[in-house]
Amino acid sequence: MDELQYGSVLCVKCSHSRRSAVCPRCGYTSCWVRLRWHGTAISIWHSADGKPLTYKDAGTILVKLNDEIEKNEFDPARYSKKVKNEKSVDALWDQFVTQKEKVWSPGTASNARSIRKAIEPLADLVDLATFSAQYCP
């Protein structure tokens, strides 16, 4: 991974640049990938299955991004947060509320749907795979 030209692997806890499985500054194991491309900042915090990135996973993603850039196949829109998928907080929250509507009163369900916007900024702090497995089987 030393010969990569674009992007970096950083510690989730202290944002220190990483070159090993454990952060030398704080001892944390989770990572994230940062790439700046033509004025666009791309941050990747989770693997495709929604789990926090390990150093190995982050390195694999970074190698893939560099290969795409070298082959002129890189499209930052594919990595944009604006792209919605089934693992997004909105989708999981709607699925959770829909399941709970059977036991909640109509007012409680309505209130739960309205607070969805309030939890959106917490998306990067929540392990969506755990949330999904625990509350949305």
Delimit the domains of the chain by residue range. Answer: 8-79, 89-135
Tens digits of residue pLDDT in 17-56 = 999 999 998 899 999 999 888 877 788 888 877 788 899 9
Cβ contact 40:53 at 8 Å: no
Left, alpha or beta for 50 (phi > 0: left; psi -120 to 50: alpha)?
Answer: left
Which residue in this structure is represented by tokens 């944009």? 80
With a CB cutoff of 8 Å and minimum separation 6, the contacts of 101 are 109
Higher-confidence residue: 13 or 125?
A: 13
pLDDT band at 81 (very low <50, low <70, confident <90, very high): low
Q: Which residue has the higher pLDDT, 91 or 3?
A: 91
Higher pLDDT, 109 or 126: 109
The mean predicted confidence, pLDDT, of the chain is 78
Residues 39, 37, 21, 88, CA torsion sign: positive
d(CA 106, CA 69): 50
CA torsion sign, 97 to 102 to 104 to 110?
positive
Mean pLDDT on 67-88? 72
Between CA 112 and CA 117, with CA 114 as vertex, the angle to 5 degrees is: 110
Question: Stretch 108-124: mean pLDDT, rounded?
Answer: 71
C-beta separation of 105 from 97 below 8 A: no
Q: Is 71:106 a contact under the CB 8 Å cutoff?
A: no
Of 23, 24, 40, give the one whose Cα is nearest residue 32: 23
The more confident residue out of 113 and 61 is 61
Greater confidence, 114 or 80?
Answer: 114
- Give residue 2's pLDDT band: very low, low, confident or very high (50, 70, 90): low
Confidence of residue 74 (pLDDT cuts 50, 70, 90): confident
Task: Dig out the tokens for 123 from the structure.
Answer: 């998306």
Mean pLDDT of 103-123: 75
